[in-house]
Structure 1
Amino acid sequence: MTSTDITEEGEPRFVRLHIELVAQITDVEALKAAALQQVQNDEYMDDDERAQAVEAVEIDPSGSLAHFVDPLKLLGEVPGIELAQATWESAHTEFDPENEDWDLYESGDAADE
């Protein structure tokens, strides 16, 4: 946090939270079925959005995970917090747990944030 992030009262007003997760898909068909059900039950999607989401899930199951991310569930019951904006995506990635570039706890990045 920098001094420009602090209001005159000395309290931070907005905080950008970066979270990176790597998930292993162990059952593509189960994930697709659950994602399609999630899309069908989403009361906030209009018909065009729903059709695009179904097509995306069928084409690339790695995108299915995004349908289960709900920032309101993550922050919704935290006292003194109102979610101002949220964006997220899921995409296929090459993951090698033996490669030290993936060790977030050993790099200075995680400790610095």
Structure 2
Amino acid sequence: MSTTDIPIGETGPRYVRLQVELVLEITGSEELTDAALDQLGGDEYMPADERQHAESSVRQDESEALAYLVDPFDLVTSVPGIDMVQASWSCAHTEYDPDSDEWDLYDDEAADDEDDDEDSADAEADAEGKEPGGR
């Protein structure tokens, strides 16, 4: 049996994609920029030409500064029983309206719960020989 044939519950490698979305308010642009510049200045492995480009980007855009300061590896290094295989991240400015349905994270969960309830009701109706939806 190859590792791709391993059913859940048996030993073998397991891969999980963890997706996190954050919306952050910049409350101290100078502090954010300074922190990113300090981090860039302390990176002994970054070539000088790349550092110059990165510093310029950080000075022009807070989202670039944030991208240099946040590292997904830091989020999971203390989690036991895992090895990070791959990571990518990006930062970009966004329009944010906390009252907009677009930003209501809990609506998605409620919709999923409603879909699950409908699926359960349809499955019960099928088991009883009725048409789904109570028809």
Q: SS of the counterpart of 2:57? A: helix
Q: SS of the counterpart of 2:106? A: coil
Paired with 1:48 and 1:110, the residues of 2 have a C-alpha distance of 49
TM-superposition CA deviations, 1:55-100 (whole Å, max 9, x none): 1111212221111212222111212111111111111001011111
Amino acid at match of 2:77: G
Runs of 5+ unmatched residues, structure 1: 1-5
Q: Is the 8 A contact 1:35 1:67 kept in 2?
A: yes
CA RMSD of aligned residues (A): 2.4
Runs of 5+ unmatched residues, structure 2: 114-135
What is aligned with 2:6? 8
TM-score normalized by the length of structure 2: 0.68
Instruction: Rate the CA distance shift 1:88–1:111 in 2: closer, same or farther, 3 A.
Output: farther
Q: RCO higher in 1 or 2 (8 Å CA, sep ≥ 6)?
A: 1
Paired with 2:37 and 2:111, the residues of 1 have a C-alpha distance of 34
Count, aligned residues: 107
What is aligned with 1:3? none
Give the greater-gyration-radius structure (CA): 2
TM-score normalized by the length of structure 1: 0.80
Question: Given the alignment of the two structures, is residue 34 of structure 1 paired with residue 35 of structure 2, yes or no?
Answer: yes
Paired with 2:99 and 2:16, the residues of 1 have a C-alpha distance of 33
